[in-house]
Amino acid sequence: MEEQGGTFIVQILINNAVKLSFVVDSGAEDVSIPEDVFKTLLRTKTISDVDILSPKFFQLADCSTSFEKTFRIRILRVGDRELENVTASVPPETASLLLGQSFLTRFKSWSIDNERHVLLLN
């Protein structure tokens, strides 16, 4: 991981095709991929129509709600750890790439080693 402006950034490989930098965010319900990146994933056939799920409502940090598209990431790799069928949401283009609970809670435990800047997934 890399620290940038008080947040931790981790490199993620999506469907063995596209590598992106995500903020580790335990407050995010899903992996979050903004609309412009989502469109790029569709255009490059990294994801397809069969990966699209039903949209759902999300409660945001400011207590507002957002109705967002959702989709399935067939393979999501962080370092040497790989998960299949991870749910992701599609917020507006101004949002950040977030590694949220739909990934983190699939592990028995997870933590951040602040000294070594490592995401520990068990």
Q: What is the pLDDT of residues 36-87, one digit of tens each?
A: 999 999 999 999 999 999 999 988 778 888 899 999 999 999 999 999 999 9
Give the percent of the chain with pLDDT over 70.
100
Full set of structural domains in the chain with CATH = 2-121 (2.40.70.10)
> For residue 118, what pLDDT band results from cuts at 50, 70 and 90?
very high
Both tokens of residue 80? 């040497």
Taking the model in full, what pTM does it have? Answer: 0.91
Q: What is the Cα–Cα distance from 115 to 122, expressed in whole angstroms? A: 18
> Which burial class, exposed, middle or buried, applies to 55 when counting CB atoms under 10 A from its CB (0-12, 13-18, 19+)?
middle
